[in-house]
Structure 1
């Protein structure tokens, strides 16, 4: 950390626990395969089940934010992870398509519950000027664990796809146990604080909604890489499986680049500058995809946009956390996090249509253009979020005085 500061113990324990969970979080990629091969359903049915899961994650995240602010961060994380484990065990034991579909939707309804309290806990215990580093560390740990998850999936998947869901459930329970035993207990909430929290209305905060719109655009672009890159490689005559190599290169870049974020000059970058440069690098990497015809060019472009991702990680979350009034951090982060649920529905539709009608060059050129627009808008968005008149009307004078002293 900058100046030799260490992150609080609670954050470090949370990062380790989430990394353990991420190590087993590979089963979702095989949900459609389980539906088709395990129950004889068509690819169209499997796609509908996957879409239903994606839609269910939106209320899941909102519920996680509300629960985090009402019953506490630790309780909500444990509840969400335990729910995920139960739904995954249900999928592993399902003996009919109807049961599997119900368990998949149930998994979606609990899948995002633990995200808002995890992010809010970091905002609670880390100083504002260190939050970007804390969120970056969490992302790097998840990226590193994701590489191990792929190897674990390759090994376990050779035996039985259902075992993937059992292993994933086990890591969820292990993470929940670690959180319950080692993270600080939730503090009791006074009646006055409860009344104050009930009046928080994040959906009426214009600054938050602007951040949500930008975050959704970013998520749609980012998911194009995750979803359509294998298809684009196939269009170029390369192996779709090479996408795994590119994803690994991205994870390595983000993980290895974490020490660079501690350099004084990088750490001192303001949010508008860091977000602008990050989106520009993302645009440059995606433009490289548009002109790529060899794996080496794809690999180089991947490293470029991953460096941009390194600058972006945590910045937006830190801005959103600073917008939230006392007692509303979980809900504000949850509303912002719905960008990924919305993008999860929009990205496959937009990406496949672009790929079919404009080819890989058109797809990646369009996503690069969106990143350029986001780069141009970031200074305006962040400055608007910081202006004292943009969302103060949603807070009482006493609340604003407390919030101002805290930040």
Structure 2
């Protein structure tokens, strides 16, 4: 029993109360994330939109989300992490409920654009707040545990949402809105303002400072390459499984495997990852992701696909455990929001370009697609190792300061 308590403390102990407030709020919010996976169902079933109209509305949502993280980064530096996160959550709740009762197509389009902007505002602000309240030595563990909370909550939210979507879809909007309000107010009232880093006055900080940071720019490009590979799990993987004659249920089983692996494995390795050099850990993780997707060219049944998902899911756990910590450690305190906004923008850009890249490669052949993804992940790993000394130097300076 004492060994079990020691193991639990090793993974979860030593982090400040403000962090656990943020962690709990994130879990609550993700448990309430029920609407987004069922947007298409709502728009066609409840609002009677055509497939063309649904495609246009979802594109507008993506356009709103495209610059959301950059906006959040600037707001978090200028006006504070807590105000940005709380404001984003309250705005999301208000827009969500407006959308729920909107019947006019122009109003629906406007709400979807604003929702795309508001929904992701919390991310850079949340990451910057972790950088403010967590010392360098514990950041890998803190971000990994937060990633675990996101997956744990989202898995529960989607399962519950699936049960409600058929007969009580308005409840999805209300539950989502309430969880957003709870998250925002919890952070506002339970995280002291004194825990935030000093705000940027507007005279010394801008995105130009981030873009002139060569190490951060290279790391952002590495993150973009990794994201393009990873996002194929939701773009070309279902198409490839369909081409092999497998049903949507088979894809659901494969994707559910990803959630199960993350939920079960992340807490086990969370403390272990922080003991090694971040660049080496990230490189190993990206290589595993590449190997997992590369293996896909050799499988054709559900069990084979599940095995590949297990491999790249372990790689995902490893990468996610350190990548946000790397970005945070590269950032000066007064620009931490902008740095995390640029880091998050890599994923937003990937959402835009990954469908075109993936479907084009799949059109050339499944072997071309999966081998190209494997090569891209390995190249990203090599570049990550190349900038490793610079990252270690910057991190050492941060610890010394």
| Residue of structure 1 in register with 2:52 after alignment | 44
**Counterpart-to-counterpart distance in 2, 1:246 and 1:166:** 30
| Residue of structure 2 in register with 1:244 after alignment | 252
| Residue of structure 1 in register with 2:315 after alignment | 308
Residues 281 and 319, structure 2, Cα contact 8 Å, conserved in 1: yes
| Residue of structure 2 in register with 1:328 after alignment | 335
* 1:193 positional shift: 5.6
After TM superposition, list the pairs within 5 Å mapping 1:2-17 onto structure 2: 2=10, 5-17=13-25
SS of the residue aligned with 2:121? coil
**Counterpart-to-counterpart distance in 1, 2:149 and 2:184:** 17
After TM superposition, list the pairs within 5 Å mapping 1:59-78 onto structure 2: 59-78=67-86
Distance 1:158 1:75, change over 3 A: same
Unmatched runs of 5 consecutive residues or more in structure 2: 1-8
Residues 254 and 306, structure 2, Cα contact 8 Å, conserved in 1: yes
* 1:361 positional shift: 3.5
| Residue of structure 2 in register with 1:223 after alignment | 231
SS of the residue aligned with 2:333? coil
Range moving further from structure 2, 157-166 or 74-83: 157-166
| Residue of structure 2 in register with 1:363 after alignment | 369
Distance 1:8 1:239, change over 3 A: same
Unmatched runs of 5 consecutive residues or more in structure 1: 389-402
Query: In the alignment, does 2:131 pair up with 1:126?
Result: no
**Counterpart-to-counterpart distance in 2, 1:199 and 1:249:** 38
* 1:2 positional shift: 4.7
TM-score (norm 1): 0.89
Distance 1:100 1:275, change over 3 A: same
Distance 1:253 1:172, change over 3 A: same
| Residue of structure 2 in register with 1:293 after alignment | 300
Query: In the alignment, does 2:376 pair up with 1:379?
Result: no
Distance 1:188 1:261, change over 3 A: closer
Residues 55 and 341, structure 1, Cα contact 8 Å, conserved in 2: no
Residue of structure 2 aligned with 1:96, choices 104, 122, 137: 104
* 1:67 positional shift: 1.4
SS of the residue aligned with 2:334? coil
Residues 129 and 196, structure 2, Cα contact 8 Å, conserved in 1: no
Residues 65 and 330, structure 1, Cα contact 8 Å, conserved in 2: yes
**Counterpart-to-counterpart distance in 1, 2:207 and 2:70:** 16
Distance 1:291 1:3, change over 3 A: closer
Residues 35 and 46, structure 1, Cα contact 8 Å, conserved in 2: yes
* 1:311 positional shift: 1.0
Deviation sequence 1:208-246 (CA, Å, 0-9, x none): 111111111111111110233222221111112332222
Query: In the alignment, does 2:355 pair up with 1:348?
Result: yes
**Counterpart-to-counterpart distance in 2, 1:81 and 1:319:** 26
Residues 281 and 305, structure 1, Cα contact 8 Å, conserved in 2: yes
Deviation sequence 1:339-368 (CA, Å, 0-9, x none): 11111111122223333x134443322222
**Counterpart-to-counterpart distance in 2, 1:271 and 1:257:** 19
**Counterpart-to-counterpart distance in 1, 2:178 and 2:11:** 39
| Residue of structure 1 in register with 2:4 after alignment | none
Distance 1:4 1:256, change over 3 A: closer
**Counterpart-to-counterpart distance in 1, 2:236 and 2:175:** 27
After TM superposition, list the pairs within 5 Å mapping 1:278-289 onto structure 2: 278-289=285-296
